[in-house]
A and B are shown apart, each in its own frame.
Chain A
Amino acid sequence: MDYHSPASFAEASALAANATGITRFLAGGTDVLVQLRSELVTPDTLIDIKKIDGVRDINSNADGSWTLGVAATGADMSEHLELGRDWPGVVEAMDLIGSTQVQGRATLTGNLCNGSPAADSVPAMVAAGVTVTVTGPDGDREVAVEDIPTGPGRTSLAKGELISAVHIPARGDNGGDAYLRFIPRTEMDIAVVGVGVSLRLDGDTVTEARVSLGAVAPTVLLVEDCAKAIIGSALDDVSLDALAAAASAACNPIDDKRGTIEFRTEVAGVLAKRAAKIAYARAKGEEA
């Protein structure tokens, strides 16, 4: 295994483009090292991106948006109070991943590029409208988070491409987001179903919404029918039931030891309602 620690994303991209065999990028390593250890994936080339300037930074931009370095950890995010005030759903989703020790290393970008349909931070990022900068041999491009995963363990990133920054939009006024997941225990497990909701209000009425489901399909889903079910409503029982029905209808899950198809489909609807209520309360400025 060749180990590289390039000083720029362009250099990292060039190393990956010219590498043969299996290449992995190393950010927090909480998936890469487990795969290495269990001999699931032994990279021929390992490219550590943590020596690149600014990769641990969490920056707020003049327009209210946020730019996160690809090696900013879950612990860095949880300790950033302003980020948590703007995007509590994104921060709580990241914070659900693993133990304190894992939080000290794990990153949003790693969670995304690992390609798990059950990745907790991904539905929250999709709901929030997060985009990433992808650096490749031909330069940079901006990609929506929902366009990165293409299936379990697979991404749309081509050879030589890597994510070089994470962009969270400006929260703006009267907005709120939330992420909920179901696991059969209280801590440290893989989502059976995850739901991210972000919405904006005008008075009591939902004017914008994005709803994303995790662990119920080969990739995390952005479900437009869920958004349509609540836009224009004050999140009354009728619209919440329509939201739940749309969420369940979007599910295409597997049966496994964590949950059956029937269970995941039902729970997706229940969690969508609960997450929407929390996002709504946050948009109203209430504690939730």
Chain B
Amino acid sequence: MSKFHVSTTVNGDAVDYLCDPRETLLDCLRDKLNLTGAKEGCGTGDCGACSVTVDGRLVCSCLMLGVEADGKQIETVEGIAEGDVLHPLQKKFIEHAALQCGICTPGILVAAKSLLEKNPNPTEEEARYWLAGNLCRCTGYDKIIRAVMETAEELREAS
């Protein structure tokens, strides 16, 4: 089985890896680049725990092959904070205790950041629909939605 050489950009850094064509982008991020923020929940695109953005588009990294990342711009949860300074969404998630076990949290942060970039002033309904592909079995979603809505408000006031 021949391996493919992939050159891509992850969180602004140029990276290269060799992968089997059957490996998903999620496999490559976790096993080759040691970026273990994206989680494998279901492996079939249902739970959103592996959410990343590819050229600005929110996707499940389990539903994309590692070879398809060649030449793309990938953003993962590891790129959300700036050094030691947490992103406002991350701060709000802590403030609201919008997580318990934390498995879904990286995917939800990536998805929520993507929402606020496209729509800085979402209604609660819009936020709930946008995040409907991110499953959380601990929180009941309420704290997550409150954290997202408050972050949106804060970011609007700051801009």
Contact = CB atoms under 8 A, between A and B. Distances in A.
Contact of A38 (B1, B44, B65): B44
B22 interface: yes
A26 B68 CA distance: 10
A3 B58 contact: no
A3 B62 CA distance: 17
Contacts of B1: 1
Interface residues of A, number: 26
Contacts of A3: 4, 21, 65, 67
Contacts of A5: 67
Given A38-B44, A98-B133, A104 B57 contact: yes
B67 A34 contact: no
A61 to B, nearest CB: 26
B111 A29 contact: no
A105 B59 contact: yes
Contacts of B4: 3
A104 B45 contact: no
Interface string A264-276: 0000000000000
A34 B130 contact: no
A7 interface: no
Contacts of B44: 34, 37-38
Given A3-B4, A36-B22, A187-B129, A101 B58 contact: yes
B66 to A, nearest CB: 10
A206 interface: no
A75 B22 CA distance: 25
B63 interface: yes
Contacts, number: 81
Interface string A75-107: 100000000000000000000001111101100
B64 interface: yes
A98 B44 CA distance: 12
Q: Dominant SS at the B interface?
A: mixed
Interface bin, chain B: 20 to 34
B63 A30 contact: yes
B133 A99 contact: yes
A27 B133 CA distance: 20
Contact of B60 (A26, A38, A48, A102): A102
Given A99-B48, A105-B64, A188 B132 contact: yes
A138 interface: no
Contacts of B22: 1, 36
A165 B49 CA distance: 33
Given A29-B68, A34-B63, 7 more contacts: A3-B67, A30-B45, A33-B64, A37-B24, A100-B58, A100-B129, A101-B111
Closest 10 CB pairs of A and B: A99-B133, A3-B21, A104-B57, A104-B59, A101-B60, A34-B44, A101-B133, A33-B63, A187-B132, A104-B58
18 contacts: A2-B21, A5-B67, A29-B63, A29-B65, A30-B45, A33-B24, A37-B44, A38-B44, A48-B68, A73-B57, A100-B58, A100-B132, A101-B45, A102-B45, A102-B60, A102-B133, A104-B54, A187-B129
